[in-house]
Structure 1
Amino acid sequence: MTDLDRGTDRRGRRAKRILTPLQKYEVWLQLIRQETTVAGAAINWQVDPSTITRIKAVAKEGALTALSESKPGARARERDWEIEALRADNARLAEAVKQIA
């Protein structure tokens, strides 16, 4: 295989390139920061422009799903229950120590 043939199949088409999740994240960051365009990213990462468009769509869908599932304050309420349980346990133990003494 010569350097000219590298990266193409027998019909002259570009060989399929699969990006890792980290690479896809880097592509998405470049697009969000407006460091590149879809066409520019496709050239830089040696993939089809439809691959870049799909990365954008999946990232948007994933972000919207994650944001819709997040409930502000839910973890704080869970911690409040733990604190109340610990305070009650502390009061019970303090009372037991007073009775022993």
Structure 2
Amino acid sequence: MKTLQREAQAWAVRLASGQADEDDARAFKAWCARSRAHAQAFAQAREVWRAMAPAGLQLRRQEERAVRHRLRRRRAAAPGSAARWRPRSPTSRCRRRSGSGRR
């Protein structure tokens, strides 16, 4: 991969990260203004980044689901958790609610 393409990809990542500041914006504008090839390389890198966005989102969602699943498993295995709770049998509920007024 050519240096120009690597630089363009680095700019695409930096600008999409949400971490870019005013200094980055000035440096990016200067970088793009260096030549038409610079601007074209960034346009190509940006298109690749946009094309990859759905795959990145899908991976992020899969990881979030995996994390939630691991957390649920940990909670269920923890002492005193709901996993140890046992529902009362239906007959025990009937005995307590009998018409005799006794519990």
TM-score (norm 2): 0.39
Looking at both structures, which has the greater relative contact order when contacts are Cα pairs under 8 Å and sequence separation is at least 6?
2
Larger radius of gyration between Structure 1 and Structure 2: 2
